[in-house]
Amino acid sequence: MTPELLDLLRQVDTPTVCNAIEVAQGRRGFANFTRATMLSSAPEAGAIVGFARTAAIAALTPSTEDAAVLRQRRMAYYRHMADAPAPSIAVIEDIDGDDAVGAFWGEINTTVHKAFGLAGTVTNGVMRDLGDLPDGYPVIAGRIGPSHGFVRVESIGQPVTIFGMTVLDGDLVHADRHGALVVPADIVPDLGAAIRRLMQTERLILDPARRPGFDFDAFEQAWSEFEAART
């Protein structure tokens, strides 16, 4: 990850990166992205980009573990987040799944994670305190709710699944209001060039379509050039 690539990734949306991965791979079929509609705490914010710091939480029912064990794990979780390399994203699976009710992501927790230097959160779980979350820390979540339930950390640093997207601790993640994806490690060196190539290719159809007098003949010519250039 170079500073130039990081800057570029922050400027483009997640659908663009999704397409660019296929350009870099030279084929269609990239599939490690979220498969459900997600909600953004800051829909107009740019993309969040970073290396995943993973954990799993639960909140639907009270834990049967000793309170001291839960506290020790909670502190280990926050240390895991505080020690994250820059840039990083908290990627948190709520193992309650479709029954998730506990908002781990409210004003306090987002403020703490932002202070640790993380760029944002991706979760299938719940967020709350909309309007009070800190600027510059988007949360891409599965739902909105009012309660924290019995929320607690269940595990730290293990692989997680967010709406069909599998994430390992340390994976490079790109996310915005459309959802999230994991960038395959082997194409990272080629990703910047792939994004620029994709954007140039899209201009073959977008530029003519935005000019006055665009008609079917102009479309047919532009589309032929566009198809010849794209993956």
Domain count, the chain: 2
Q: So what's the pLDDT on residue 227? A: 87
Q: So what's the pLDDT on residue 224? A: 93
Same domain, 81 and 155: yes
Peptide bond into 87 cis (omega under 30): yes
- Cα 209 to Cα 213: distance, rounded to the nearest angstrom: 9
Same domain, 110 and 148: yes
Structure tokens at 198: 């994709």
Same domain, 125 and 228: no
Residue with tokens 């994709």: 198
Distances (CA, A) of 177 to 8, 26, 44, 172: 17, 26, 8, 17
Residue 50, beta-bridge partner list:
173
Q: So what's the pLDDT on residue 158? A: 98
Same domain, 40 and 150: yes
Same domain, 179 and 214: no
Q: So what's the pLDDT on residue 124? A: 98
CATH at 123: 3.50.30.40
Same domain, 109 and 171: yes
131: left (phi over 0), alpha (psi -120 to 50) or beta: left
Q: So what's the pLDDT on residue 231? A: 54
Q: So what's the pLDDT on residue 123? A: 98
Going from the first residue of the chain to its last (231 residues), give the mean pLDDT of each consecutive group of 10, the final group possibly shorter: 95 97 95 98 95 98 97 98 97 97 98 98 98 97 97 98 98 98 97 96 95 95 88 54
Same domain, 56 and 145: yes
Same domain, 209 and 143: no
Could you list the residue range(s) of the whole structural domain that residue 152 is in? 35-183
